Amino acid sequence: MTRKPLKLAVRTAKKTRDAARGALLWGYEQRLAREVKAHARLPRHLGLILDGNRRFARAAGVERELGYEFGIDKAHEVLQWCLELGIPAVTIWVLSTDNIARDPDEVRHLMGLFDREARNLARDPRIHANRVRVRAIGQHHGFPGNVLEALGELEAKTAGYDGMLLNIAVGYGGREEIVDAVKQHLAEQAAAGRTLEDVTEALKPEHVSAHLYTAGMPDPDFIIRTSGEIRLSGFMLWQSVYSEFYFCDVYWPGFRRVDFLRALRDFQGRERRFGK
């Protein structure tokens, strides 16, 4: 066989092999989806740490900004997967308080993305058709005015909805959240005329829980982090005391539906003991 027909045969064989692999993966994904949907237990509150956008871009040999764009597209995909399964509450962590200290140009670019995507979500037909209530949680006092306006508009347009609750953790840190909660409790008690001695004597964990950004929600029962990093990095430190964790060795933009379903199946197979 001459070189040209040989190359054609190799390319054809590769296409056939890739198509066969794709068909097998599709079949496996469909089986996983059936198993997950048939199981009685899904997370009531799913936490997602969206990690690895910059490393994905670096590995793909593209600009850092494209990594964030791919990450945004993936977030929209995963939102759809959660809606299809009927998960009641989802919290996605898109920017930490530590991230705000990054390169000013990078942070400026991220703020532009938050402005754009908050406005897009406010118009997204899926949000309104599924009555998704969206909240932005974190510390936003240093955010540009246009970003605050966009986040406020998104919250206002979905405030009366009773479907999925979607928290977007932006400018969020777990330690900061606990400090804010304690400050609010102390201020509330002081306004009621109670002394510091009275407050410290009566202080209970539920007093802190009542002032967290997620007050009124169930604590996350399942938290997924992408990128292969095995740590929380401050995500929902108070609320995650009994959470189940799943660390996925893939960058966020490369997170596939099959990865998502595998994580949920793993959660469904666990026996939760709540510290007992």
Residues making up the binding site for Mg(2+): 51, 244
Residues that constitute the known binding site:
51-56, 64, 96-98, 102, 225, 231-233, 244
- Per-residue b or e along 61-85, where b marks 16 or more CB atoms closer than 10 Å to that residue's CB: eeebbebbebbbebbeebbeebbeb
Q: Sheet with 165-172: list strands edge to edge.
A: 133-137, 165-172, 89-96, 45-49, 222-225, 244-247
Whether the Cβ atoms of residue 32 and residue 262 lie closer than 8 Å to each other: yes
Active-site residue, selected from the candidate residues 99, 120, 180, 259: 99
Other beta carbons within 10 angstroms of residue 25's beta carbon come to: 12
Name residue 247's beta-bridge partners.
225
- Catalytic: 266? no
- Eight-state DSSP code of residue 48: E
Residues that constitute the known binding site for substrate:
52-56, 64, 96-98, 102, 225, 231-233
Tokens describing residue 267: 């959660």
- Catalytic: 130? no
Other beta carbons within 10 angstroms of residue 215's beta carbon come to: 11
CA end-to-end span of the chain: 69
Active-site residue, selected from the candidate residues 51, 115, 124, 221: 51
| CA 272/CA 189 separation, integer angstroms | 36
Tokens describing residue 137: 């949680």
| CA 134/CA 118 separation, integer angstroms | 10
| CA 233/CA 212 separation, integer angstroms | 18
Where in the sequence numbering do the catalytic residues fall? 51, 99
